Structure 1
Amino acid sequence: MPLHLPPAPAPALRSVLTALGSPTAVREARTPALRAAQGPVTPELPLPVHVLDHITATGGWATRLAGWRFLIRCDDRAVAAAETMLTPDGWAFSHFFEGPYVTSTERALRQAETTAQPHQPRLLSVPGLYMLTLWLHGDVTADGATGGPAPADLLVPLAPAPPGIASHRPHRVEELLPVLTRRVTRVRLMGSPAA
C-alpha cells in the first residue's frame, strides 16, 4: 500500500473514542447516518487537516494545522467523520459530520492506494474557495502536522469542487497553485460571499 498514514496524536484519538462512546454526543450530532448505524463504529484513517491561510503576491502560500479528521466506519463504509481541534488544554473532540466530503475522501484515498508512488495523505482546506483537497505529500517520513505542500506533491480536489476544477483528478501542486492563486485573488477583489 503506497499510503503511509501519519500517526494521529493519542489524545485526539481518545477524544473521538470518548465521543463515540457518549450516547449524548452521538444523539445530538447532526449525522443521521451515524445515529442510525447498526453495529460497532470505529474511527479510522486519521488525516491531519491543514488550512491554506493565505496566498502571497508571489504565489507562495502559508498553511497551518487546524485539526485531525477521522473517518467513522460501520461495517464496510464510512458513515461519518469526526473532527478534533487543538485547544489550550490539548487535543479535543470538536464535532461529527457527514455529507459529500466523507464519501469523497474515502473514494480519493482508495484511488491514491492504486498509485505506484508512496504518499502521506493529508487534507488541505482552501476556505476562500470552499474547497477541500486530499493532499498527497511525497515525503512519507515527514511529520504530518507540519510543513507545506511541495511543488511535486499531488492535490486531489474532493467533490464538490469549485466550478472548473475537476473532482478526483490529481494535480501537481505546481500546476494547481497558480489556478488557486488567481481564484482566491479574484474572490478577495470581488468580496467573499462569506464576508
Structure 2
Amino acid sequence: MPLQVPPAPAPALRSVLAALGSPTAVREARTPSLRNAQGPVTAELPLPVHVLNQAGTPRTRLTGWRFLLRSEGRTVAAGDTMLTADGWTFSHFFEGPYLNSTERALRQAESLQTACQPRLLSVPELYMLTLWLHHDCSSDGTEGRLASTDVLVPLAPAPPGIAAHQPHLAAELLPVLTHRLAPATLLGQAV
C-alpha cells in the first residue's frame, strides 16, 4: 500500500535544514552517525508527532515533526522540530533504537492492503512510541483524533507485555493503554 505522507510545514523543514547546515549544531549533537556521515545528509519522510492525551482518550495533540536524516542511502539520525509561540523551530537531533524500528514499521505498513497516513504517536507515561497509521489520507497531519479503525504499531523497545511491531486496531490497543495509565489502586484507594 502506498503511504500518504503529509507534507511538513515549510518552517519545520527549514529549521531542520538550517540545523544540518550549522557545523555547531551537528558537532554538538549526540549522534555519532550524523557527525560521521561522509556524504550529504538529507531530511526525508516527515512524520507528524502526536502525544496521547488524558490516560488513553482517543484525542491527541500535535507536538512536532520528525524527519529521518539520510546519508549514502541509509538513515543516520532523526531531526525533531517543535511548535513554539513563534512557530516551528528545530528541537534536536537523535539516533537510537526508534530509528530502525520506525523504518521497519513503515516497511510493514507498506504491505497492508489499504492506504493510510503515517504518523508517530507518543505515550510518554509508558515510554512508548507507535507508528500511527491514520485512515484519513487527506488530513494535513495536524488533526489529532484517533479513529477506532486506525492501526497502531508499537515501536521497539515497547513496554513489557506489548509486542513491538504487532499491528493493533486503535479500538483494541487503547483500552490496554488506558488500563496501564490508570492510577494503581490498593484497597479502593489511589496509591
- TM-score (normalizing by structure 1): 0.92
The letter of the residue matching 1:27 is R
Query: C-alpha deviations, 1:65-85, integer Å up to 9, x for none?
Result: 000000001122111000001
* Superposition RMSD in Å: 1.4
Residue 43 of structure 1, CA deviation: 0.5
- Which segments of structure 1 move beyond 4 Å, counting only runs of 4 or more? none
Give unmatched runs, 5+ long, in structure 1.
191-195
Query: C-alpha deviations, 1:98-123, integer Å up to 9, x for none?
Result: 00001111111111111111000000
Query: C-alpha deviations, 1:37-76, integer Å up to 9, x for none?
Result: 1101100000000001212xxx633311000000001122
The letter of the residue matching 2:50 is H
2:176 pairs with 1:185: no
The letter of the residue matching 2:144 is G
- TM-score (normalizing by structure 2): 0.94
The letter of the residue matching 2:41 is V
Task: Choose which of 124, 142, 146 in structure 1 pairs with 2:143.
Answer: 146
Alignment of 1:1-195 (within 5 A): 1-55=1-55, 60-186=57-183
The letter of the residue matching 1:6 is P
Contact 1:3/1:113, CA 8 A, preserved across alignment:
yes
User: Identity rate of aligned residues, in percent?
Assistant: 71
Contact 1:49/1:65, CA 8 A, preserved across alignment:
yes
The letter of the residue matching 1:180 is L
What is the alpha-carbon distance in structure 2 between the residues aligned to residue 148 and residue 126 of structure 1?
15
Residue 189 of structure 1, CA deviation: 5.5
Contact 2:59/2:144, CA 8 A, preserved across alignment:
no
Give unmatched runs, 5+ long, in structure 2.
187-191
Which residue of structure 2 lines up, in the alignment, with residue 193 of structure 1?
none
Contact 1:79/1:98, CA 8 A, preserved across alignment:
yes
SS at match of 1:64: strand
Q: Structure 1 residues 61 and 189 mapped into 2: Cα distance closer, same or farther (>3 Å)?
A: farther
Contact 1:2/1:116, CA 8 A, preserved across alignment:
no
What is the alpha-carbon distance in structure 1 between the residues aligned to residue 90 and residue 21 of structure 2?
12
Aligned residues: 186
